[in-house]
Chains A and B, each alone.
Chain A
Amino acid sequence: MISAGKKSTMELLREEVESLLRIDRLPHVWCPGCGIGITLNAFLRALIRAKIDPNKTVVVSGIGCTGRAAGYVNMDSFHTTHGRAIPFAVGIKFARPELNVVVFSGDGDLFAIGGNHFVNAARRNHDILVIAVNNFTYGMTGGQHGPTTPTGAYTTTTPYGNPDRPFNIPHLAISLGAPYVARWTTYHLMQLQNSIYTALHRKGFRVIEVISQCPTVYGRRNEMKSPLEMMEYFRKFSVRKDDATFDEMELTYNGRIVVGVFRDVQGIPTYEERYNDIIRRAQK
């Protein structure tokens, strides 16, 4: 029972989430039914639970639908150039290792135009959390195929089906030595939030791929016209398998989505920690 005049836990949480949003910027640009808001909500709730100081947290985005996320968080936040969120974040983290640096961006931004930065930042193990929203398409520009579009999918630039092969993002991240690698869908609200919460307590280059619905420009060309149909797809076709093989992590056209925490190891020195040794040696 909630007594009159007192706020419920839900109301308090809502207020806390709202305090982390630039309310004066709403309404946001995302389409009705888009999954980016769900992902952003999960991130903010995880941040609240983790009791991380928002004044010491930086959110960096690139360009695209997900790239607009930085514009809505009430923290130091940067909307950079297409593909360059990661190196921008690297500069911040390397200069001020005490800051929590989060890259919140989309699949095209992080893996096509920004792929080189993802690969090298992961290899160097910068202490950055990357939340990669994968909606299988370039949404902002109207639904062209991208580096994660499943083979066979229909987009505005694959009118006869996609001949291209998509990235297997967890496989890529693990092969580069990223210490925390997970994948969820926007259907997995609590698992996603828990995963971000855990990742916020880990160190190094942490990658969480979030499979997200884009009914407006992707779903409607691929037999899933409504947000609900896309969520139904995520619900029915997702399987949790933390020890999945790389082959099992592959995403296929409207096929099975293996989710889970595929890697969670601790104690790998970050680039920033290793550079502290360099400073000590240089000053000897």
Chain B
Amino acid sequence: MKPGYYFWSGDIAAAEGAIFAGCRFYAGYPITPSSEIAERMALRLPQVGGKFIEMEDEIGSIAAIIGASWTGEKVMTATSGPGISLMNENIGLAAMTEVPIVIVNAMRGAPSTGLPTLVGQGDLMQAKWGSHGSYEIISLYPDSVQETFDLMVDAFNYAEKYRVPVLFLIDGMLAHMYEKIYVPPEDAVERIERKRPTKPPGEQLIYEPDEDLIPPMPRIGEGYKIHASGLTHNEKGYPELTPQAQERLIRRLNDKIRKHAEEIWKVEEYRTDNADVIVVAMGSNARAVRTAVDEARKEGIKAGLLRPITIWPFPYKYIEKYAVDYIVAEINYGQIYHKVKEYASGNVELLPKMGGELHTPQEILHALRRYKK
């Protein structure tokens, strides 16, 4: 895309941001409210020499991008609630076999078919715990069309750097909302490529980690005779079904993210200085909170907004940092609330919505007034 200003939806920004980040392979299955991402990719990827394929379902879509990632491509799929539920088994495969992939989840009202066209935030915990087992992924959640575009570069960089699935959350509101957006010149951002083997085939163990706990990643067709399995495996990639191998592998898969958490954390702190009460909100819901915080400040309430942009690994140090009362405003019946409660020293109040609409500034303001000192 030529640098300049555009008028795009969150979905279009997600697709264009991915291409800007270097994504050249997309496999997906249409689902509201993410379908426009697939449509944009179908149009744009062949123009830049990339590949787009519409698969038979979401399970096939994620399997295809995992396969394609092993050829060295930067890959993505996009979906929404029912689709992400179907993808979860293979998110576990990508985590276990350390394959860089980016998955966009445009969250809608849920559970089940729920509210296909309306906003929800019910998949925040699922993003972390969706597949079976103890593993770490990275999850990002922007609040505007511009941030969707910009953050896509980070999503691909994280996926490539840490060899991990990145769950890129947007929501039904953001997916379909149009805003003015600036596309920077191609060379304005840093793009990270996955680490390549330094040893020749035969000498390189496929899952031998460096000091940063991340193994270099060979490509299919280079003679490395890769073997990757979802079974618990050793550094050769061979199945080794023992508690010792499990301990070594699963500890490393978690630690490679946990030990780099602070590099991965992105948080917006809005008027949190000297605050008595801080609202924690994410995605498009944070926009109403920002307005409410401004109004509350005018009324003499020392309010602030803490917006985790990195949802996972959860940026808990930012919660610990403030000795305040917290209000967690989320469009579900309490998810990130539990994480905030885990790390807050003061009171934590849940301000839930079951889905379908954002909080209004008035609702947030009403809650904040109870904290006037």
Contacts and interface: CB of A to CB of B under 8 A. Distances in A.
A45 interface: no
B185 interface: no
B55 A87 contact: yes
Contacts of A267: none
A111 to B, nearest CB: 14
A144 B59 CA distance: 24
Interface in A44-70: 55-56, 58, 60, 70
**A interface, over-half SS:** helix
Among the interface residues A25, A94, A278, which one has the most CB atoms of the partner chain B within 10 A?
Answer: A94
Given A25-B238, A120-B56, A92 B71 contact: yes
Contact of A71 (B25, B70, B71, B229): B229
Contacts of B227: 22, 70-71, 76-79
Contacts of B90: 81, 84
Interface stretch (B186-194, B218-226, B293-301, B352-360): B218-226
B70 A92 contact: yes
A79 B63 contact: no
Among the interface residues B64, B71, B222, which one has the most CB atoms of the partner chain A within 10 A?
Answer: B64
Given A70-B227, A91-B66, A96 B93 contact: no
B164 interface: no
Contacts of B75: 91
A279 to B, nearest CB: 5
Given A84-B60, A87-B60, A76 B221 contact: yes
A80 interface: yes
Interface in B1-58: 25, 27, 43, 46-47, 49, 51, 53, 55-57
Contact of A91 (B57, B67, B93): B67
Given A78-B70, A283-B47, A116 B56 contact: yes
A271 to B, nearest CB: 8
Interface string A269-284: 0010001001101110
A91 B228 contact: no
A34 interface: no
A145 interface: no
B225 A75 contact: yes
Contact of A94 (B46, B51, B222): B51
A92 B68 contact: yes
A88 interface: yes
Interface residues of A, number: 42
Contacts of B67: 60, 78, 87-92, 95
A117 interface: yes
Interface string A94-105: 111011000000
A80 B230 contact: yes
Contacts of B221: 55-56, 58, 76, 96, 98-99
Contacts of A55: 221-223, 225
A71 to B, nearest CB: 6
B89 interface: yes
Nearest to A119: B56
B63 A116 contact: no
A84 B60 CA distance: 7
Given A95-B73, A279-B49, A283-B46, A87 B225 contact: no
B231 to A, nearest CB: 7
Interface residues of B, number: 42
A262 B113 CA distance: 43
B313 interface: no
B230 A91 contact: no
Contacts of B64: 87-88, 90-91, 94
B166 interface: no
Nearest to A99: B221
B178 to A, nearest CB: 25
A74 interface: yes
A74 B57 CA distance: 31
A83 B75 CA distance: 21
Given A84-B60, A84-B90, A120-B56, A99 B220 contact: yes
A91 B67 CA distance: 5
Contacts of B69: 91
Contacts of B71: 92, 95-96, 99
A24 B225 CA distance: 13
Contacts of B82: none
A94 B226 contact: no
B130 interface: no
A271 B64 CA distance: 14
Contacts of A25: 238
Nearest to A116: B56
A80 B53 CA distance: 20
B60 A94 contact: no
A94 B70 contact: no
Contacts of B46: 275, 278-279, 281-283
Contacts of A96: 71, 220-221
- Which 3 A-B residue pairings sit nearest by Cβ, starting from the closest? A91-B67, A91-B64, A282-B46
9 contacts: A76-B221, A80-B93, A81-B230, A87-B56, A90-B63, A94-B25, A95-B67, A117-B63, A279-B49
Interface of B: 25, 27, 43, 46-47, 49, 51, 53, 55-57, 59-61, 63-71, 73, 75, 89-90, 93, 220-231, 238-239
